[in-house]
Amino acid sequence: MNAAAASPPARSWFSHLYVQVIIGVLLGILVGGLWPEAGKELKPLGDGFIKLVKMMIAPIIFCTVVHGIASMGELKKLGRLGFKALLYFEIVSTIALIIGLVVVNFVKPGEGFNIDPKALDHSATDSYTQKAKSLSTVGFLLNIIPGTFLEPFVTGDLLQVLFIAVLMALAITAMREKGAALLHAIDRIAEAFFGVMRIVVKVAPLGAFGAMGFTIGSYGFESLNRLLALMLCFYATAIVFVVVVLGAIAWKCGFSIFAFMRFIKDELLLVLGTSSSETALPGMIQKMQRLGVAKSTAGLVIPTGYSFNLDGTNIYMTMAALFLAQATNITLTLEQQIQFLLVAMVTSKGASGVTGAGFITLAATLATIPAVPIESLAILVGIDRFMSECRALTNLVGNGVATLVVSRWEGEVSAETLRTNLQRRPDA
């Protein structure tokens, strides 16, 4: 058999998931723009797809983390890996907060709005502010411990899933040879869950169509109105952060940020269509392993990053908070801005797995600065859905880069191997 006969047949352009998702997004925009009421009725399609994905995330993360940690052979590596990941998360997420603060101070997109927050209808923000009140440091730490072993699989709280997965992995490690059969079984179960995910992802274009149709139909392009300045400023800042900051980190580790984004284009478009970075989590774990990252590293860093490394959310928080101050004609001193920055370094870690996390963390942080009335959040309700697209995309790229950086620090993959694997077809 010659080489030509042995090679797999060329795939048609339409068979690629990212092409199908793009078509779904464009059709959703078209339907939502031309027939708003019909667009609103498409909401169940987007919600249904996200529920399908979230249904699989907890068991996949549990199996991946348990197998990865229990296969390490030594607990020192677990501690070393966790320390490196958290150190990276804290440094880069703080840089994201500072960049957002600097840009909004320089551009001042909120100046001239002259909005009276007392005249706003803040009923739409009440649910967010109520949740924000529970985001204390002690409450956050206690929430990591689930009420029952199975509770995280019901609620989908990733930190709780990680907690019980680490405990189970440590228990299996202590069993030594007796735990080998259990570890093998968990690995086979994980393969089955990933198989289910491959089936679920096939309906991603339909989910993207529904989610985008509902967004445009509900809010319309006119809802952007004068808030367009903030949106453009936020999108531009996020792009600069990805290209310059994450790009520099990637270059230092021996790979191109653009090659990396090409490699995860399916996941990026999935997030774009659904406004949820969680929909791409299982796929990202597999993509990282195809690049040469150890299963233990990918299984630990990616899920942890969803709680501790939300670069897009951090940029949004600082920009949105100062935008609200400018829009309501409130001048924040340098001391108040530094105070906000320090509080945001904590609250930005506290709403993982919660719907509307960006809004909730913003509300929690604003509560520490009485000068900016929390009712002013109502100004952002109309465009938050559009902002969440960029938040989720930036978070996804940031967590992918973090995983590769930690893997390179651990010596799991060389720069040459990484560059070579990035040129391969992602699904090869």
Q: Is 57 domain-assigned?
A: yes
Q: Is 390 domain-assigned?
A: yes
* CB-neighbour burial class of residue 411 (10 A; exposed 0-12, middle 13-18, buried 19+): exposed
The pLDDT of 17-25, averaged and rounded, is: 77
- Which two three-digit tokens encode residue 269? 């478009």
3-state secondary structure of 318: helix
d(CA 414, CA 420): 10
Q: Is 209 domain-assigned?
A: yes
In this structure, are residues 167 and 75 in contact, taking their beta carbons and an 8 Å threshold? no
In this structure, are residues 282 and 60 in contact, taking their beta carbons and an 8 Å threshold? yes
Distances (CA, A) of 309 to 208, 257, 259, 283, 349: 25, 17, 21, 18, 8
Angle between helices 228-240 and 311-327 (to 10 degrees): 150
Q: Is 5 domain-assigned?
A: no
Q: Is 331 domain-assigned?
A: yes
**What is the C-alpha R_g of the chain?**
22
The 10s digit of each residue's pLDDT in 309-329 is: 888 888 888 888 888 888 888
User: Looking at the predicted structure, is the pLDDT value of residue 242 above 90?
Assistant: yes
d(CA 22, CA 27): 9
Give how many domains the chain has, as a whole number.
1
Q: Is 11 domain-assigned?
A: no
The 10s digit of each residue's pLDDT in 173-182 is: 888 778 788 8
pLDDT, averaged across the chain? 78
The 10s digit of each residue's pLDDT in 411-420 is: 888 889 999 9
Question: What CATH number does the domain containing 291 carry?
Answer: 1.10.3860.10
Q: Is 10 domain-assigned?
A: no
CA neighbor of 251 nearest in space, from 66, 45, 405, 407 = 405
Q: Is 414 domain-assigned?
A: yes
The 10s digit of each residue's pLDDT in 34-65 is: 888 888 888 888 778 877 877 877 888 788 77
pTM passes above 0.85? no
Distances (CA, A) of 344 to 44, 247, 309, 319, 368: 34, 24, 13, 12, 10
Which domain covers residue 384, as residue numbers? Answer: 16-72+87-422
